Structure 1
Amino acid sequence: MFDLLIQVLLLDKETTGMVSIVYTQSEILQKEVYLVDRLETPNRETMTHLKAICFLRPTPENVTILCRELRKPKYGQYYIFFSNTLSSGDLERLAEADEHEVVREVQEMFGDYYAINNDLISLNVRFPSISSMDKWDDTALRRSVQGFTSLLLSLKKRPLIRYQSNSNMCKKLATEMSSVMQNESSLFDFRRTDSPPLMIILDRRDDCVTPLLNQWTYQAMVHERLGITNQRVSLAGAPGIKKDMQDMVLSSETDEFYHKNMFENFGDIGMSIKKLVDSFQEKTKSNKKIDTIADMRSFIDTYPQFRQMSSAVSKHVTVVGELSRLMDAHRLLEVSETEQDIACQGDHSSILTRVRQLIDADKVTDMDRARLILLYALRFDKSNTNYMTSLVEQLKHRHLDSHYISLVRHILTYGGYDARQSDLFGNKSFFAFTKKTLKGLKGVQNVYTQHEPLLIETLDLLVKGKLKDSDFPFLGPMLRDKPQDIIVMMVGGATYEEARFVSRFNSELPGTRIILAGTHVHNAESFMEQVMVAAEGETSIEP
């Protein structure tokens, strides 16, 4: 769409984020786009000598604003591209509004989602279950169907459908997606393949552990401790950060270092940066001693030409430096090791002692105290030696915000033992328990990354053709061959930890292609907020 000779790019609130993920400002300029503006911006200047490209979501609000603009056009020509299907009624409204005949083209270009990684997309729908724990909000369902439909059309896939059987939300989404593919059969009339693609719809509630854990691989850790919004990271509130480094972009498409290291462990990131700094130091004949992240930051400040030559490296030195500061300031190593043991080992006596100690530790944040309790509650939900009442009293003694206290009860309703279909902790069967125990006995290289999301076990069974039909039934035609083209739709949000494992699956299984699509990409904070919103919705509909 950008190959046309254009001068104005007109976006809406959501497509601004979608475009910013896949195009940099300089790349847009190279396409002869000299001005980027928002459709809803009031009092835009009239420039009838310019052409406008509009890339918009086909919402009723956007169509109304566009119709109003076409009656009093601000540009000489309009090329209109919608990110999803446009109804015939809305097309007629646009045609009637084009009194000055300035519209040259109207097309549907399916891209109604946020393409974060090569195999990870998000809809930025944060709370898809605000009606209740297991019932869609109508607006969120409609947006999810639109976004996932757009994904399938952009990939040119008409997949078979499987869904998590104990989830009403998964079943509802599966039904809606099937209905769309049937009603829009001409749009989904793609060339058949020997092995048809498969869409599997999963529920976040089946694995509440993954979004609660602190992370130690680069992309996931940045999102957990700093937050990533449309690939932008803000360090505005961090101490000692230069103004030009307070807002930065982390893109695997335009940042080679990030592309190579986004899934690497935190310790390895520091070593990778140090090698680049050492290389430049050798070129400048500097003998300044560099051993720590702080030394690297000092070196970059001393040699401004290094920043000019490698702004990407200085950016990552800044990010890693802030992560290191947070790690030391909040005892993250101790907190994370305890979290991993709760998730992967389950020695109750040892875990209880450490959780009590960390709750009372001064440097531990309230967020980390809360997540320790939530993980403990999920792990020992049905244990006869459960000390939840005592631990909650300990939290109250620390004067934690009341919403953290409420979360302990809500997390069990949302994703506790009775709400889960899966054997999340391997304690429902002797075989699963033995498998996890043997894995623990073998040990891992890094105690902070020993956890594997439930999604990985599900995908492993799926690609081997061993996933139970009773737990994940087909909606419509069934596939008996092992699937090779898989689209995972995670209702309730995916995580960067899961994205890392999906990327590993794709690299290690030639011929298999997996895409992870989440209604949102969570860190612990956004996930906790989702649980609270769902709980409030559940309470509001009680008789």
Structure 2
Amino acid sequence: MSQSQSLRTLVQSRLLSDVLSPCTSSSNWSILLVDSSSMRTISSCVGMYQLMEERITSVDGIESKRQPMPEMDGIYLVEPESVDLVIKDFENAKKPMYKNVHLFFMTRVSEEGMAKIKAAKNLLKRIKTFSEVNLSFLTPNSHTFHLDLPLTYRPLYLNPPGNTVVGDIAGKLVTVCATMNEYPHVRFDKRSRVARETAQEFHERLNVFMSQNPSWWFHGGQSHTTRSRSTLLLLDRTSDPLTPLLHEFTYEAMLNDLLPLNGDAITYVAPSNSGKSEPKDVLLNESDPLWLELRHSHIADVITSLSNRIREFVSSNGGAALAQNSGSDMSLSEMSAALKELPEYRETLSKLSQHMHLAHRCMDVFGSLNLSEISELEQTLSTGCDSEGKVPKSKVLVDNLIDVLAGNNDRNNSVRLIMIYIISQQGITEDDRKRLFSAAGLDEDEKSIILNLEKLGVTLQQTSVKTKSFTSMFRSKRVKSTGKSDKDSVYAMSSVRRGKDSGGEGKASNSRWGGTAGAETSNSTNPKDLVNRKFTGGRQIVFQIGGVCHSEIRAGYEVMAGNKGGKEVIVGSTSFIKPAEYLEYIKSLS
């Protein structure tokens, strides 16, 4: 196993080399049978062209009605819960669905499930392969994973200890560690009941797995000392209920917050070569080098970089000649339109244009929702200081907050802003709560979302008299005793103003620190550096129970990129969440 293989590469290799390749031959084609859960696992890391190279003629859902293919082998890759559907395919001995059966389960099959398989004689005699592959999770990115458990919070935070959700999380987490060959040191906040229960359940299940798989090895164990044992840090949302609420203006986070993404797919309307507008489907994943490079960059850098690249591309690929032939200088849009007529340039320009379009779509929403003013308030609330590094007076800031809420046209943003206030200030007075709710015009459902924060351990009612100065439990360490701001990060405040011209070359104003967003700020999470790096030492696995947001995923990459010791950071969760989904999770606590 290569020391530099990412988690996503490991899963891909496991599916192709360990599952599919041994079951196919050069002369026969097979059919891959999946359930909805295993289909999502495969789709997250393997493309159809790769399956065809393994002589897979089609991928069929086991839940759907299918025509029998008795001359072909069937490779089943399913969850144990689908065992009845597998057996049903072979109920009719005279009309079996497939010739031979290669049966792979994503996790451990229960004793009851094994008994059912043993009793299914028509199926049993056709089984050529039987294995538990331990791949009950998704790997959308190279160093991230989630368990495909988009949970409501009710079973996590309202049910008594020992609920089945904790068992589901622990069981799926075992498959992650089994795939990476990790027997980690487990760390958790002892104040978190959910993290403590998950840690205990995970430890027990991993030990059971090891006892049942004596040939399995782990990094740091005997004869495998090239890398030391990993560390698994278990967190849950009660340790940080604030971060998913904040607006983040890096490219990936902004897309997921403001635009209608469905997983890694988005559809938008764009002009075609014929001049007519038509829907265009885009996949935003690591197969796109441009996405890989830009996803963690600030939106201002994205627009500037794309604009410069389009201009350079046009100039170096015939744009100058086209302009010369026209007898006058051509604009960027005119040169781009001319290049679209040249087939050899269409693909490259199309990729640049689609990202430019999406980035500008984000900025359009940014402007329409007045996120510049909203995010300015968010930053002051969460850091405890204003744009000049001064601690504001409490009454002044609350009055400003009320003004913003009264003029805001997006109710979700109002809910988020009030929640940020309550969390950061460790409570709110009854009078201020009434004023904020009234200014925002909240309905009962929206009010209940905010009040449900208490069930995540957030203090709602302030128990002591506030001082005149506005204070915050998240006071920024960048504020020095002089009251001046440390300008080490030009994007300490994420708000940006869009450039003047349509090409987006205008630099974005840094409204928090008064600086200018420009090329001097580089992306510290260079994907090429991470892909080519040979990691040493034990992996650092951070697992967030209750959903991880895209700004936290980005932070994991930044820690890994800035770690000179070569430590590999893996960020995982029950699911990846967007701000709107997070509000729904909290709403479920009612």
TM-score (norm 1): 0.80
Distance 1:86 1:289 in 2: 64
How far is the alpha carbon of 1:502 from its aligned partner? 0.8
Higher helix fraction: Structure 1 or Structure 2? 1
Contact 2:138 2:147 in 1 (8 A): yes
How far is the alpha carbon of 1:170 from its aligned partner? 0.8
Contact 2:105 2:132 in 1 (8 A): yes
1:313-462 equivalences under 5 Å are 313-346=352-385, 347=392, 348-361=394-407, 364-382=409-427, 387-396=432-441, 400-417=442-459, 435=477, 437-438=479-480, 441-443=485-487, 444-449=489-494
Match for 1:514: what amino acid?
V
Any idea what the Cα deviations from partners look like across 1:285-308, whole Å, max 9, x if unmatched? 2544238xxx99978877776443
Name the residue aligned to 1:198. 231
Name the residue aligned to 1:516. 571
How far is the alpha carbon of 1:265 from its aligned partner? 0.6
Between stretches 489-498 and 134-143, larger displacement belongs to 134-143
Distance 1:201 1:26 in 2: 37
Contact 2:375 2:494 in 1 (8 A): no
Contact 2:167 2:198 in 1 (8 A): no
RMSD of aligned C-alpha atoms? 3.3
Contact 1:54 1:78 in 2 (8 A): yes
| Residue of 19, 26, 29 corresponding to 2:52 | 29
**Is 1:526–2:574 an aligned residue pair?**
no
Between stretches 167-176 and 409-418, larger displacement belongs to 409-418
Contact 1:300 1:314 in 2 (8 A): no
Contact 1:296 1:317 in 2 (8 A): no
How far is the alpha carbon of 1:113 from its aligned partner? 0.6
Any idea what the Cα deviations from partners look like across 1:189-223, whole Å, max 9, x if unmatched? 53514743221211111211110011211111111
Match for 1:49: what amino acid?
E
Contact 2:549 2:576 in 1 (8 A): yes
How far is the alpha carbon of 1:35 from its aligned partner? 1.3
Name the residue aligned to 2:203. 178
Contact 1:204 1:493 in 2 (8 A): yes
For the structure 1 residues 103 and 313, does the alpha-carbon distance in structure 2 shift closer, same or farther, using more than 3 Å as the test? farther
User: Partner of 1:131: helix, strand, or coil?
Assistant: helix
Distance 2:373 2:312 in 1: 34
User: Partner of 2:80: helix, strand, or coil?
Assistant: coil
**Is 1:495–2:541 an aligned residue pair?**
no
For the structure 1 residues 336 and 25, does the alpha-carbon distance in structure 2 shift closer, same or farther, using more than 3 Å as the test? farther
Contact 1:381 1:412 in 2 (8 A): no
For the structure 1 residues 40 and 407, does the alpha-carbon distance in structure 2 shift closer, same or farther, using more than 3 Å as the test? same
User: Partner of 1:503: helix, strand, or coil?
Assistant: helix
User: Partner of 2:135: helix, strand, or coil?
Assistant: coil
Name the residue aligned to 1:422. none
Any idea what the Cα deviations from partners look like across 1:334-368, whole Å, max 9, x if unmatched? 22222122112353345324322222225x31111
Match for 2:485: what amino acid?
L
How far is the alpha carbon of 1:380 from its aligned partner? 2.3
Relative contact order higher in (CA < 8 Å, ≥ 6 apart) = 1
Match for 1:45: what amino acid?
Q
User: Partner of 1:162: helix, strand, or coil?
Assistant: strand
Contact 1:17 1:230 in 2 (8 A): no
TM-score (norm 2): 0.74
Contact 2:157 2:194 in 1 (8 A): no
Contact 1:128 1:519 in 2 (8 A): no
Distance 2:364 2:91 in 1: 55
For the structure 1 residues 182 and 27, does the alpha-carbon distance in structure 2 shift closer, same or farther, using more than 3 Å as the test? closer
Identical aligned pairs, as a percentage?
17
1:61-72 equivalences under 5 Å are 62-72=82-92
For the structure 1 residues 404 and 383, does the alpha-carbon distance in structure 2 shift closer, same or farther, using more than 3 Å as the test? closer
Question: Which runs of no fewer than 5 residues in structure 2 stay unpaired?
Answer: 1-18, 324-329, 386-391, 462-469, 496-511, 513-536
For the structure 1 residues 243 and 311, does the alpha-carbon distance in structure 2 shift closer, same or farther, using more than 3 Å as the test? same
Name the residue aligned to 2:20. 2
Distance 1:318 1:434 in 2: 34
Distance 1:390 1:159 in 2: 49
Any idea what the Cα deviations from partners look like across 1:38-82, whole Å, max 9, x if unmatched? 1101x21112222222221222xx011111113343222222222
User: Partner of 2:150: helix, strand, or coil?
Assistant: coil
Distance 2:242 2:182 in 1: 32
How far is the alpha carbon of 1:426 from its aligned partner? 8.8
How many residues in Structure 1 have an aligned counterpart in Structure 2?
483
Match for 1:442: what amino acid?
D
**Is 1:38–2:84 an aligned residue pair?**
no
Largest Rg, 1 or 2: 2
For the structure 1 residues 353 and 241, does the alpha-carbon distance in structure 2 shift closer, same or farther, using more than 3 Å as the test? farther
Distance 1:9 1:159 in 2: 33
Distance 1:82 1:208 in 2: 36
